[in-house]
């Protein structure tokens, strides 16, 4: 029966195509297994380094995909050093986690090197950032501070994560869940087996950079137009959502202080910063495609208001602030897309922060006592 079917040319060519795809898929999985010790029967992509739970997204300890690797606590950093004299946590979203920088050149890693060049040889920077996380996830920060006992916590929040936010997240005082000093068994477990094509991801990685930005943006513009035809579009981020952003940031800073770590605020830099306020319309449309409910001018206005609010918060609370939004030039040299750094941009960020932090540390403005436990409501 099978031999008879294969005599038909369409069936035969279909069978050859399926066999070729199967062979290529097996080769893709074998390459991942040899290069990164990836399991053959489980997902292997950027999402496989994270564990999603009812408590929120966390890093998967020991997971690795391409240039992204997590340490034994589930953070994108080398293992904590027992001999570090100054430990800094960097807390933020994908801009801090690092997307487009080459391995080891995301700004937290470059910041550690910059501090060491300034004479702080035992300075250590641990990157606890997670893509998409809101700065108000205080329980996540509490857990990291309890485990790592830093002297400093760098807060680099993404205002866009508060578009559509219906509430604040941060609560002062007792934690809302038990603090784990080590990752949970669920967080340690590998991703469950599921049907997925590694070949599709590899082809996307090859083809996507070759597409002209104009073509990519044209497709996203169609998506924006479809949203506008059926959804509500805002010219400006509502005040209540901006207030939630600033409230969560202020609360998270107080949580860090309550545990003995000093917060350092850093305003959010974008491709549309100094010198490039409206100089890249295609990338501005690209940015809006992720938040179609807010117009392009609304995104730029949101960033200006967020930076102004952070400056006012730092002044009112007496907190140190690095004004990256005003100091890092916009444009393609420093930004791979609308908000994520290139290697050069990450270097600028690291240098800017190190200039402030190194002087402050040397003047002895460090709070050495860190609370290693957190009260949990009964």
**Mean pLDDT over all residues of the chain?**
84
- Quick one: pLDDT band at residue 365, thresholds 50, 70, 90? very low
In the predicted model, what is the mean pLDDT of residues 238-262? 96
In the predicted model, what is the mean pLDDT of residues 23-38? 63
Longest dimension (CA), the chain: 85
For the cut 80, the answer to whether the pLDDT of residue 7 exceeds it is: no
Where does 90-119+128-189+232-362 sit in CATH, by number? 3.40.50.1110
Q: What does the pLDDT read at residue 376?
A: 31
Q: CB-based contacts of 138: which residues, under 8 Å, 6+ apart?
A: 169, 170, 171, 172, 175, 251, 252, 255
Of 355, 265, 364, nearest to 317 by C-alpha is 265
Residue 17 to residues 14, 34, 198, 206, Cα–Cα distance (Å): 5, 26, 17, 21
- Residue 332 and residue 338: Cα distance in Å, rounded? 9
For the cut 50, the answer to whether the pLDDT of residue 375 exceeds it is: no
In the predicted model, what is the mean pLDDT of residues 119-147? 94
In the predicted model, what is the mean pLDDT of residues 226-240? 93
Name the residue with tokens 């070729």.
Answer: 20
- Quick one: pLDDT band at residue 352, thresholds 50, 70, 90? very high
In the predicted model, what is the mean pLDDT of residues 25-46? 62
Q: Residue ranges per domain, the chain?
A: 2-36, 90-119+128-189+232-362
Of 247, 73, 94, nearest to 150 by C-alpha is 73
Q: What does the pLDDT read at residue 53?
A: 76
Q: What is the pTM of this model?
A: 0.84
**Cα 313 to the center of its chain, rounded Å:** 23
- Quick one: pLDDT band at residue 77, thresholds 50, 70, 90? very high
Of 96, 103, 25, nearest to 64 by C-alpha is 103
Concatenating the DSSP letter of every residue in 255-299 gives HHHHTTPEEEEEPPP-TTSTT-SSS-HHHHHHHHTTSTTB-HHHH
**DSSP code at position 183:** -
- Residue 134 and residue 156: Cα distance in Å, rounded? 10
């Amino acid at each position: 029966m099978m031999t008879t079917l294969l005599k038909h040319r369409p069936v035969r060519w279909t069978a050859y195509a399926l066999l070729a795809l199967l062979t290529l898929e097996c080769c893709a999985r074998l390459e991942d297994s040899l290069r990164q010790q990836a399991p053959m029967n489980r997902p292997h992509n950027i999402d496989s380094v994270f564990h999603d739970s009812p408590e929120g997204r966390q890093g998967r300890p020991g997971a690795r995909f391409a240039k992204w690797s997590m340490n034994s606590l589930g953070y994108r950093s080398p293992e904590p050093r027992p001999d570090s004299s100054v430990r800094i946590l960097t807390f933020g979203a994908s801009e801090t986690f690092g997307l487009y920088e080459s391995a080891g050149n995301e700004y937290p890693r470059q910041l550690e090197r910059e501090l060491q060049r300034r004479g702080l040889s035992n300075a250590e920077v641990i990157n606890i950032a997670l893509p998409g996380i809101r700065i108000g996830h205080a329980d996540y920060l509490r857990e990291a501070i309890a485990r790592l006992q830093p002297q400093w916590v760098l807060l680099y929040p993404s205002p866009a994560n508060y578009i559509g936010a219906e509430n604040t997240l941060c609560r002062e005082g007792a934690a809302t869940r038990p603090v784990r000093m080590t990752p949970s068994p669920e967080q340690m477990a590998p991703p469950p087996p599921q049907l997925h094509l590694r070949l599709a991801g590899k082809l996307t990685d090859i083809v996507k950079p070759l597409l002209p930005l104009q073509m990519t943006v044209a497709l996203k513009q169609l998506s924006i137009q479809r949203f506008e035809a059926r959804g509500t579009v805002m010219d400006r981020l509502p005040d209540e959502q901006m207030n939630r952003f600033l409230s969560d940031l202020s609360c998270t800073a107080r949580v860090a202080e309550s545990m003995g770590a000093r917060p350092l605020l850093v305003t959010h830099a974008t491709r549309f910063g100094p010198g490039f306020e409206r100089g890249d319309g295609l990338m501005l449309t690209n940015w809006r495609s992720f938040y179609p409910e807010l117009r392009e001018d609304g995104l730029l206005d949101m960033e200006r208001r967020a930076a102004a609010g952070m400056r006012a918060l730092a002044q009112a609370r007496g907190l140190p602030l690095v004004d990256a939004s005003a100091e890092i030039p916009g444009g393609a040299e420093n930004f791979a897309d609308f908000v994520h750094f290139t290697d050069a941009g990450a270097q600028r960020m690291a240098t800017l922060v190190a200039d402030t932090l190194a002087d402050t540390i040397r003047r002895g403005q460090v709070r050495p006592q860190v609370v290693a436990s957190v009260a949990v409501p009964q």
